[in-house]
Amino acid sequence: MSSNDTPRGPGAPPPAETKRIAPRSPRAALEPERVPAPVRRSARARHPLVVIGNAIFTFLVLLAVVVGGAVWVGKQRLDDVGPLAEEKSVLIPRGAGIRDIADQLVREGVIDHPWTFVGAVVFRKAREDLKSGEYLFQKQASLGDVIDTLVEGKVVQHTITVPEGLTSEQIVQRLLESDLLAGNIREIPREGSLLPETYKVVRGTPRDQVIQRMQQAQRRVLQEVWDHRMADLPLRTPEQLLTLASIVEKETGKPEERTRVAAVFVNRLKQRMRLQSDPTIIYGLVGGKGTLGRPIMRSEIEQPTPYNTYVIDGLPPGPIANPGRAALEA
């Protein structure tokens, strides 16, 4: 019995079978092995509608990625600090388009790039909401802050102070000299019809509009004072109150003296005495110009004019200036 015939035990595994390799000729050994042909896609997968649908889906995915990235970048740009080194006032003129505004903001150093501003405004659908006017941009204002300021119309508020006791002609002259206001004033308002006060205006406010505000304020204050007048006041109309207040206003510029001066004139009216007020002489001579530029001469004290209270009895025909609230109340 050969070695291959050695008896196996009960649990011994069967001997491994020797794999037989079929002999190949030299020519066959040099030939390449055959690769299985690729599986062809079904006719449904090759359908034009399926191909177009896949292309559209891919495009939409790419578009969503691009738009999302652009939104993220844009959000970062909106919140980034701006180039402005210190707060600055910028006047956006009426009728300026979005590109005009962008170019001006770049020139003023408020923003870096005009197209970034244009794109952000268009994206936020705020193109029609940009407002003209004078704006104060804070130091390092972000692009988002700049757009919000223009959309909300946070224009700079200036103050114009009109002192008490000026004539209407003098007030008009002051308004014409102010570079904050625009336009002309068609006519000199009626004497006494303007309330001397401090008014808030934006740059470019029409002068006629300021006149209208002053007239409305004077009518309101005059009515309030007239409604609360003393019962024994020797005045029959609000217009007479306005006239007497204008004389008090021109007699003294000291607040603590107004009540005393008013009491003197009221007593004279009650006793049918002449008021004998020097400012009425001056107004009778120069009218709305307001100042004589020299002392009153003795001959002028006796010179008859409709306003000279040294000559006429009672009140003159109208105010000689524009009195403030304090003089009206006095």
Question: In terms of C-beta density within 10 A (0-12 exposed, 13-18 middle, 19 or more buried), how is residue 241 classed?
Answer: buried
Q: Tokens representing 106? A: 């770049």
- What stretch of H or E contains 50? helix 48-79
Instruction: Encode pLDDT of 152-191 as tens digits.
Output: 988 999 999 999 999 999 999 999 999 999 999 999 999 9
Parallel, antiparallel, or unpaired for β 133-137 and 88-92?
antiparallel
Q: Which of 34-38, 177-181, 295-299 comes out lowest in average pLDDT?
A: 34-38
- Whether 29 shows a pLDDT value over 70: the answer reads no
**The total number of residues written for the chain in this structure:** 330
**Domain-wise residue ranges, the chain:** 88-152, 158-222, 231-329
Class of 88-152 in CATH: alpha beta
Q: Is the pTM of this model over 0.75?
A: no
Answer yes or no: are the C-beta atoms of 305 and 284 closer than 8 Å: yes
For residues 318-329, give the mean pLDDT.
Answer: 96
Question: Within 10 A of 116 (CB to CB), how many other CB atoms are there?
Answer: 16
| Higher-confidence position of 40 and 328 | 328
CB neighbour list of residue 139: distance below 8 Å, 6 or more residues apart: 84, 85, 86, 87
pLDDT at 59: 66
Question: In terms of C-beta density within 10 A (0-12 exposed, 13-18 middle, 19 or more buried), how is residue 195 classed?
Answer: buried
pLDDT at 21: 54
Question: In terms of C-beta density within 10 A (0-12 exposed, 13-18 middle, 19 or more buried), how is residue 130 classed?
Answer: middle
Q: What are phi and psi of 85, to 5 degrees?
A: -75, -30
Q: Which of the listed ranges 56-65, 66-75, 199-208 does the model predict with the highest average pLDDT?
A: 199-208
Q: Residue 321 carries which DSSP code?
A: S
